């Protein structure tokens, strides 16, 4: 089963993609995570992407499309994948169509997590993750049981994304509204889009998503 997860920054795509990955045995493909790995590794691609990401803009379509195409060819994607953060522009959506045709693959569900813009800024600027196990927390909405100690692994080191500050979040929302929001209309017009209420509690959002993809559950 192959899925696309759409929705603005901070809508919970990453959290829900991880849950879908566990429940359905399919792989989360987050272009944001892939780019952050490139930045961390100090590659040429990472150096190109770093500044754009920190300003809240979008990395070039060519780079993203070739990165995703190579990733989908890997063995672990055979059982299925969840596209998280891709496609983000109309040229990316069109390239994805062609790419899937060439590979003999198709998307089973396009899922959109709907949230209010005002909630997004608050959600993103308060979030941080455990450096050891990657579990996510929030200053207000989800704090560890013991202050400064990860509930999952006991780790004591946490990080915030460089682009999770208010100014950059507003730019990311602009980029979303201008370049990514039209993609929802594109899939809606094809009759392929299903929306879920992203303002609900995390478990409720997961239930809504599982209800839609449930019949394909592996």
Q: Is 88 an interacting residue with respect to ligand AMP (CB under 6 A)?
A: yes
In eight-state DSSP terms, residue 214 is G
Contact predicate 57/175, CB 8 Å = yes
Q: Where are the alpha helices (DSSP H) in the chain?
A: 13-24, 31-41, 44-55, 61-72, 90-103, 117-125, 166-175, 181-189, 202-213
Contact predicate 170/56, CB 8 Å = yes
Q: Binding residues for ligand AMP, how many (CB under 6 A)?
A: 17
Q: Is 24 an interacting residue with respect to ligand AMP (CB under 6 A)?
A: no
> Which residue lies nearer to ligand AMP by CB, 81 or 86?
86
> Which residue lies nearer to ligand AMP by CB, 46 or 216?
46
Length of the chain: 218
Contact predicate 54/168, CB 8 Å = yes
Interacting residue with ligand AMP among 6, 17, 27, 64 (CB under 6 A): 64
Q: Is 53 an interacting residue with respect to ligand AMP (CB under 6 A)?
A: yes
Catalytic residues: 13, 88, 127, 161, 172
Q: Is 198 an interacting residue with respect to ligand AMP (CB under 6 A)?
A: no
Binding residues (CB under 6 A) for ligand AMP: these are 9, 31-32, 35, 52-53, 56-59, 64, 85-86, 88, 92, 163, 172
């Amino acid at each position: 089963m192959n899925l696309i997860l759409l929705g603005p920054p901070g809508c919970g795509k990453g959290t829900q993609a991880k849950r879908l990955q566990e429940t359905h045995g399919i792989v989360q493909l987050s272009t944001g995570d892939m780019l952050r790995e490139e930045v961390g590794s100090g590659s040429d691609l990472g150096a190109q992407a770093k500044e754009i990401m920190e300003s809240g803009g979008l990395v070039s379509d060519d780079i993203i499309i070739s990165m995703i195409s190579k990733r989908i060819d890997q063995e672990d994607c055979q059982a299925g994948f969840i596209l998280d953060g891709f496609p983000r522009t109309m040229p990316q959506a069109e390239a994805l169509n062609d790419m899937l045709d060439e590979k003999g693959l198709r998307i089973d569900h396009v899922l959109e997590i709907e949230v209010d813009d005002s909630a997004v800024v608050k959600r993103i600027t308060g979030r941080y993750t455990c450096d050891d196990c990657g579990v996510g927390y929030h200053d207000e909405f989800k704090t560890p049981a013991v202050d400064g100690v990860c509930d999952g692994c006991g780790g004591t080191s946490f990080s915030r994304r460089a682009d999770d500050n208010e100014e950059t979040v507003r730019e990311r929302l602009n980029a979303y509204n201008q370049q990514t929001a039209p993609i929802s209309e594109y899939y809606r017009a094809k009759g392929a889009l299903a929306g879920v209420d992203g303002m609900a509690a995390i478990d409720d959002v997961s239930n809504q998503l599982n209800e839609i993809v449930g019949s394909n559950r592996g």
